[in-house]
Amino acid sequence: MKVYLETYGCQMNEYDSELIRSILAPHGHEITMAVEEAEVVLINTCAIRENAHRKIYGRLDMLRPLKKEKERFVVGVLGCMAQNLKEELFDHPVVNLIVGPDSYRSLPKLIDEVIGTDRQEIEAYLSEYETYSDIAPTRVEGVNAWVAIMRGCDNFCTFCVVPYTRGRERSRSIENILSEVRSLAEKGYRQVTLLGQNVNSYRDEGAGFADLILKAADVPGIERVRFTSPHPKDFPRPLLEAIASHPNICKHIHLPVQAGSDRILDLMARTYTRKEYLRLVEEIRRLIPGIALTTDLIVGFPTETEDDFQETAGLYKDCRFDSAYIFKYSERKGTIASRKYPDDVPPEVKTDRIVRLIDLQRAISLEKNRAKIGRALEVMIDGEAERRPGHQMGKTEGNTTVVFPRTAFGPGATVSVQIDDVSSNTLYGRPVER
């Protein structure tokens, strides 16, 4: 059957969709890029934000005409939203199938059971062991390849639904991961990004994440290794030393802070203080001069006052992040916060605070980018710049986008680009001789 697969959410969801393609292929299912051609529509979902939920329900509404038109038509909701909401999704008239992140191996069987019928099937259990380590993902073409080194999370931050949608933490073996990385290098990928809900917690028979990333960076053909995301509570010194010492490990750390107020951090169960976070940032910048630091942050967590927010803004000014993902707090079903803390910060207050932080981040990013004018930076080419005919685009080691006139080189090649102009999120330049 022809299957249309759509992905929402984080890099882990992108990786899971690659796994799903590999699981379906041996059963004769063909992935189509046109939803109108499909007999099966699978929507791989995220449950982290309320906006993600709205998008999925809007997408399901758009599938109503196809459901009425076709006798043999299956709509499946997969991933974190499927795990979190389960039977509630069956209230939508187009949904036949609900499959959680640990149940993808059952997809071919479940599709066979519901196609051409009015049946509804659900398989959404949490596994203590499933890592899909025996399945080679069917990759989407590109320069970067995602590599999930672990699944699940044991942190139980009060705002986060991940432990309830992806289960407890479990790691793949180093050799299994390296085998995947070597295969990617042979296929022409020049960059890999190692994924985990908290990569710092990676363990394999006494080896930690620093051991793994050094081995991945040594794989012939791999020129850049990235990772996301670490947790500030247990950032090991050996990992900082690995990033500092190995030329193939990108000098970029995404370090989610979530809040700058100790009171709010405590309510979030982040297990570090503002002072400890700032001390870590200071150590990172001392050991790795020029490091690009990015972060995640939530505004409007329950009981957040203006004073709490000002502490967060102050931390922002102290840390001067290169960029940030800033979100309004949205209550997630099943989390500790949803049970203990009423969502009592008014929407208009959340909006005001997020606008102020975004404006602050935009000014910091612009100032940092202006400091790069006149410098020649190494840029790995991603492809054509869609909005600038005759130009290419790529990423610096610090993960900043650079746009420059087209060269003779293609995706995956690294070129030196002198920066001539900038915006708050993009650099513009021209290729120069190394």
The residue ranges of every structural domain in the chain are 2-123, 139-250, 286-371, 376-432
Give pLDDT, residue 224.
Answer: 98
CATH of 139-250, one of 3.30.750.210, 3.30.1490.190, 3.20.20.10, 3.40.50.2300: 3.30.750.210
Identify the residue whose tokens are 């000002």.
310
pLDDT tens-digit profile of 266-283?
999 999 999 999 999 999
Nearest Cα to Cα of residue 250 among 193, 322, 324, 209:
193
pLDDT tens-digit profile of 151-174?
999 999 999 999 999 999 999 999
pLDDT tens-digit profile of 87-105?
899 999 999 999 999 999 9
Give pLDDT, residue 61.
Answer: 95
Query: Rounded distance, CA 168 to CA 102, Å?
Result: 11
Give pLDDT, residue 87.
Answer: 85
Instruction: Give Cβ neighbours of residue 377 (< 8 Å, ≥ 6 apart).
Output: 396, 397, 402, 416, 417, 418, 419, 427, 429
Give pLDDT, residue 10.
Answer: 87
Judged by DSSP in three states, 416 sits in strand
Structure tokens at 183: 């295969």
**How is residue 62 annotated by DSSP?**
H
Give pLDDT, residue 40.
Answer: 97
Give pLDDT, residue 95.
Answer: 95
Is the peptide bond prior to 173 cis by the omega test (within 30 degrees of 0)?
Answer: no
Q: What mean pLDDT is reported for the chain?
A: 95
Q: At what angle do helices 237-245 and 274-287 cross, to 10 degrees?
A: 30
CATH of 286-371, one of 3.40.50.80, 3.40.50.360, 3.30.750.200, 3.30.70.360: 3.30.750.200
**E strand map for 58-140:** 74-79, 97-99, 121-123
Question: Mean pLDDT, to the nearest integer, of 13-29?
Answer: 96
pLDDT interval class at 141 (50, 70, 90): confident
Query: Rounded distance, CA 144 to CA 189, Å?
Result: 6
Q: Give percent above pLDDT 90 in the chain.
A: 91
| 3-class SS letters over 209-230 | HHHHHHHHHCCCCCCEEEEECC
Give pLDDT, residue 54.
Answer: 85
- CATH classification code of 376-432: 2.40.50.140
pLDDT at position 140 over 90: no
pLDDT tens-digit profile of 298-353?
999 999 999 999 999 999 999 999 999 999 999 998 999 999 999 999 999 999 99
Give pLDDT, residue 285.
Answer: 97
Query: Rounded distance, CA 293 to CA 278, Å?
Result: 12
Quick one: CATH architecture of 2-123?
3-Layer(aba) Sandwich (3.40)
pLDDT interval class at 258 (50, 70, 90): very high
| Burial annotation 334-343 (CB, 10 A radius, 16+ → b, else e) | ebbbbeebee
Q: Give percent above pLDDT 70 in the chain.
A: 100
Give pLDDT, residue 180.
Answer: 97
Query: Rounded distance, CA 213 to CA 151, Å?
Result: 17
pLDDT interval class at 86 (50, 70, 90): confident
Structure tokens at 369: 């980018």
| Burial annotation 246-265 (CB, 10 A radius, 16+ → b, else e) | eebbbbbbbbbbbbbbbbbb
Query: Rounded distance, CA 122 to CA 56, Å?
Result: 18
